[in-house]
Structure 1
């Protein structure tokens, strides 16, 4: 498996993975399927902002998953905190793809000078919680019943990882 930067040519695969997650998982709290134009706009926005979009590519060239991160919140005081997302194709789940993507995003966020990486995880998603804990994240909050999907209230777990040991934040 190779982890690499995504290109526009990967967008159909990213769209398929994203829409599968919308249809079948509680990982994306929406019922709205994206179009290729939606994914293109998302991709272009990430690239214009200098944010990573990475893919896990199998030996046969198949895109097995993707990940990215973006601002946690819009206010300036959060500028060194990013929130990440990782999605894996159904046939690749449980095979190390998610971990490989998360490890690379952690490395990238650290290299980009960010201080904290946040994961927002469905409270019932034991596999995602375990993955994050394996990669050094801690559950730092639980927001009960803040979301809904498939006729259920969903709890949101906030998982964080501090990326460096700066004792104080930078002035600007």
Structure 2
């Protein structure tokens, strides 16, 4: 699924975020200490090599909704943006924290003069965020960045499962121009 909003091409694909050779920046769903972990975080850190953990750890800790940028080291990309997504709960401002991850990452991509960025489904793994709700927040936030003229030409959501791909594709299709 793909759409173009204000010259920003947005697409959803199933795949491995560590194998996005045509993307300038990939986003890591990190933990607060930026010390590596499981899921997307573990996959990115394994693919990038031990220097990524060293570089990111020096920038932590950070809180939910915040992001930092490091070189990508052994990955085929220029940089990795590390975002700490919220642990899902109905009693905290998790929607704003999740939206902040995407806004912060887009801002860092612009500062790095990136033309492309790839996101995973932040907070949808062990942090328990429901896929449909997270997808709506992610796509709405990126579309808002596009409407403001963010200078990133390609935003790719790289989803690991068919369920995640369906949720993000549906959210992309539901966006208003």
Higher strand proportion: 1
Q: One fold, TM greater than 0.5? A: no
Q: With the length of structure 1 as denominator, give the TM-score of the two structures.
A: 0.41
Q: With the length of structure 2 as denominator, give the TM-score of the two structures.
A: 0.40
Higher helix proportion: 2
Larger relative contact order (Cα-Cα within 8 Å, sequence gap ≥ 6): 2
